[in-house]
């Protein structure tokens, strides 16, 4: 005869307001706002979404009022699905559909009577999102090892300054990348040593490092770059990397396959880090260090060493810093 062991969680009543239902409620509210508010404010004129980088060529056209109302209703429908408690495997799909519907409703309101180049907008958005993506990967890795890294802004500032300065002085994009790596790793190493080795409060030291980076880069910018921009603040631009054949795909091709190498690094980094944390021995050890360091130590995992290496996160941070090597640096105070 087999017996079943019941836990406290099995005996407790199921909670109604789960994470999915709370998200569904939010989607319903913003969907109603979009369907009513945006539709009333939008002009009754066509909103043209061109499939290129300008107003010419093929375009998708929809009435501004109708589009705002329809896409707002789509957001409400997605929220209602989450509130109804659909299967968990569909929750992410409904969440994406709801957010996308709200964004399209907003765009129909704003673009009514005008046009929006989809390729140019998507390319610019993806390029500007690269530092955020890579910084988020760094934060995830630190969090998984039990380190609260709020010093990412300081790493961005030091890396951007190093990339612009070294890239200008050497007239080399890749040496600018090396300067970015150095600036980012410097702040990351300080955080790792002070928070892990000397057990300084992680939030306090992160704030201090942000202020340190702000002060150092602001001072050097005023003393060096602002006084002689030609010698210290005119870095070369990183050229786009075009993948043949794939770059010729309409709409998607120019956005994903004719762009900066940093975009490829960011997108590949998301997939690699997810796979590494979820599917590899290294990921298991890393998560064990963050979730239960004592248990990890008992099985022979070097807790302090793992946390220090992951907190530095040098390869992701270096990519964030190098993204600034294609633009002149500006004072963080302005």
The enclosing H or E element of 122 equals helix 118-144
Residue 83 CB-density burial (10 A; 0-12 exposed, 13-18 middle, 19+ buried):
middle
**Hey, where are the domains in the chain?**
8-113, 121-326
- Distance of alpha carbon 151 from alpha carbon 139, whole angstroms: 9
Structure tokens that stand for 194 in this block: 């002070």
39 and 69 Cβ atoms separated by less than 8 Å: yes
- What is the 8-class DSSP label of residue 238? P
* Other beta carbons less than 10 A from residue 301's beta carbon: 16
The tens place of each residue's pLDDT in the chain, 334 residues long, gives 455 555 555 545 567 788 889 999 999 999 999 999 999 999 889 999 988 777 777 788 899 999 999 999 999 999 999 988 877 778 889 999 999 999 999 999 999 989 889 888 889 899 899 988 988 888 898 888 888 888 899 998 999 999 999 999 999 998 998 898 899 889 988 998 898 888 889 999 999 999 999 999 999 999 988 888 888 988 998 889 999 999 988 888 989 999 999 899 999 999 999 999 999 998 888 898 888 888 887 888 888 787 777 766 544 444 444 444 444 555 444 4
CA atoms in the 13 A half-sphere facing the CB of 176: 29
The enclosing H or E element of 63 equals strand 59-63
């Amino acid at each position: 005869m087999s017996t079943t062991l019941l836990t406290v969680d099995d005996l407790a009543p199921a909670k109604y307001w789960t994470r999915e239902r709370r998200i569904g409620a939010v989607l319903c509210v913003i969907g109603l706002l979009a369907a009513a508010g945006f539709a009333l404010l939008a002009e009754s004129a066509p909103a043209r979404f061109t499939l290129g980088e300008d107003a010419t060529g093929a375009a998708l056209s929809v009435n501004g009022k109708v589009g705002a109302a329809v896409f707002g209703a789509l957001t409400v429908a997605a929220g209602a699905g989450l509130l109804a408690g659909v299967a968990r495997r569909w929750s992410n799909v409904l969440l994406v559909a709801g957010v996308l519907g709200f964004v399209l409703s907003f765009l129909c309101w704003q673009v009514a009577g005008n046009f929006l180049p989809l390729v140019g907008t998507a390319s610019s958005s993806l390029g500007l999102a690269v530092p955020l993506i890579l910084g988020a990967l760094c934060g995830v890795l630190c969090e998984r090892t039990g380190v609260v890294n709020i010093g990412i802004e300081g790493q961005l500032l030091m890396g951007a300054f190093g990339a612009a300065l070294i890239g200008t002085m050497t007239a080399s994009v890749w040496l600018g990348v090396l300067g970015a790596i150095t600036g980012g790793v410097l702040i990351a190493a300080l955080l790792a040593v002070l928070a892990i080795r000397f057990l300084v409060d992680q939030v306090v030291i992160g704030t201090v490092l942000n202020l340190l980076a702000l002060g150092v880069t602001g001072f050097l910018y005023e003393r060096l770059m602002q006084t002689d921009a030609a010698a210290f603040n005119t870095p070369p631009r990183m050229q786009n990397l075009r993948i043949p054949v794939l770059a010729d795909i309409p709409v998607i091709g120019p956005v994903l396959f004719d762009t900066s190498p940093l975009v490829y690094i960011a997108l590949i980094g998301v997939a690699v880090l997810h796979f590494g944390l979820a599917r590899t021995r290294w990921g298991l050890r890393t998560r064990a260090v963050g979730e239960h360091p004592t248990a990890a130590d008992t099985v022979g995992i070097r807790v302090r060493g793992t946390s220090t290496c992951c907190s530095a996160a040098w390869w992701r941070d270096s990519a964030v810093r190098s993204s600034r090597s294609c633009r002149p640096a500006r004072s963080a105070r302005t």
